[in-house]
Amino acid sequence: MTKTKTLMKGLLAASALTALSTGTAFAAGTAAGTTVTNTFTLNYNVGTTPQPPVTGDTPTTFVVDRLIDVNVAPNAGLDVAPGAVDQPLSFTVTNEGNDTQGYVLTAGNVAAGDDFDATNLAIFYVVDTNGDGINNDGAPVAYNGTSTPDIAPDQIVFVTIEGDIPGGVDQDDTSDITLLAETAVTGGAGTLVTEDTDGNDNATVENVFADAAGDGNVTGDVAEDGSHSATNTYSVVAAMIAAVKAVDIFAEVPNATNDCAVIPGTPAPQTSDEDDQYAIPGACVEYTITATNTGEAATNSIDIADTLPDNLTFVAASATGFLDETATQAGSFTTLPTANQDCFATPCVVEYTGGELQDGSTTPTTGVITIRALIASSKP
């Protein structure tokens, strides 16, 4: 730091202590442009006789310089799903200087060290106009690419970067996103401030950069450059869905005690071979479609559709295990053949929609569709 910067920051700090005693301070100190005037009185005696006091003919005067200090901080990162769009990462931008400023904002992907780049990055902001430090000052405004509105000392801008997540990312993949805020002059034109480099002039308000270096992810963002940057992170939380279909012969010869329409039911042993059930005409076929989630994210809007072969006769279908976050069965059969419908005459479409599966990262969660049909006894 230059000697001039050290001197001016000391003056600002001293002024801040005085202002605190009167209840008018900003965190960054006395406002830029404040004129500080001082004089003195010298009293003395000759022997024991007081003499007329000596006072300064001309008071000393200086104006407080403009401290340029901006701070960008990330809020909590965001869990996202593969393929999600307009996902909001939030930051705060705080004017820690002692004068009103605008800010030029830039969003970007970190060049290396993460797993993927988010796309279509867009910046939105809300100015903390009521000064309560809470993002409750209206709807976000799309950043115009030039400059934010004028921001007073100690005022906060709540900034959101929205991005799209690629569809091919995996569980626990991350994407690091940076926000750079560069200090601009007031008025919204986006003209960046410049630092005074020709030494202190007590009669002029000069710009003194005092910002910290960024977190290292924006090239060139060093200390005392009039800008600051920070990084926030998207973390992929994915549902990992697998599905398998199996077929078994539920009953070789269905009858009243092992009815094909009773799910799950218990098949009766066959007289010819108690251990085997054969796929002969008239036998009851059971299809099971099992969907399993082993990911950290719950999944919803599950749609399972199955068109049965035309040499079957539809009998019945059921669904189990498609539970929502309250452990309530979710979904329903939106397409279902009528009982005993011959699939060669009318296509037998079984479709279950709206199913859900809970987080399966600790214990896999499953849902099962069971379909029963008879092997046609006559040629279609």
Note the pLDDT tens digit of each residue in 161-184: 999 999 989 989 999 999 999 999
What is the residue type of 314?
Answer: F
pLDDT of residue 273: 58
pLDDT of residue 318: 97
What tens digit of pLDDT does each residue of 356-373 get?
A: 999 998 999 999 999 999
Q: What is the mean pLDDT of residues 126-146?
A: 96
Measured CA to CA, the distance from residue 338 to residue 213 in angstroms comes to: 71
Say yes or no to pLDDT of 271 above 80.
no
Say yes or no to pLDDT of 5 above 70.
no
Q: What is the mean pLDDT of residues 305-313?
A: 94
Average confidence score pLDDT of the chain: 89
Q: What is the mean pLDDT of residues 111-133?
A: 96
pLDDT of residue 379: 62
Q: At 85, is the pLDDT very low, low, confident or very high (cuts 50, 70, 90)? A: very high
Q: Which class for 280: exposed (0-12), middle (13-18), buried (19 or more C-beta within 10 A)?
A: exposed
**Rounded percentage of the chain residues whose pLDDT exceeds 90:** 77
Measured CA to CA, the distance from residue 289 to residue 304 in angstroms comes to: 9
pLDDT of residue 56: 80
Comparing 27-31, 246-250, 369-373, the range with the smallest average pLDDT is 27-31
Say yes or no to pLDDT of 11 above 70.
no
Q: Are 89 and 77 in contact (CB under 8 A)?
A: yes
**Rounded percentage of the chain residues whose pLDDT exceeds 70:** 89
Q: At 21, is the pLDDT very low, low, confident or very high (cuts 50, 70, 90)? A: very low
Q: Which domains does the chain have, with CATH numbers?
A: 3-65 (no CATH), 68-236 (2.60.40.10), 241-375 (2.60.40)
pTM of this structure: 0.74
